[in-house]
Amino acid sequence: MLDHLLWGVPDLERGVHDFAEATGVRAAAGGRHAGVGTQRRHRAGQT
Residues 28-41 pLDDT 10s: 888 888 888 888 88
* pTM value > 0.85: no
Q: What is the pLDDT of residue 47?
A: 46
Q: What is the pLDDT of residue 21?
A: 95
Q: Say what the pLDDT of residue 10 is.
A: 92
> Cα separation of 5 and 36, whole Å?
20
Flag residues of the chain having pLDDT under 70: 44-47
Could you give the CA distance from residue 41 to residue 12 in angstroms, rounded to a whole number? Answer: 9
| The predicted structure's pLDDT at residue 44 | 55
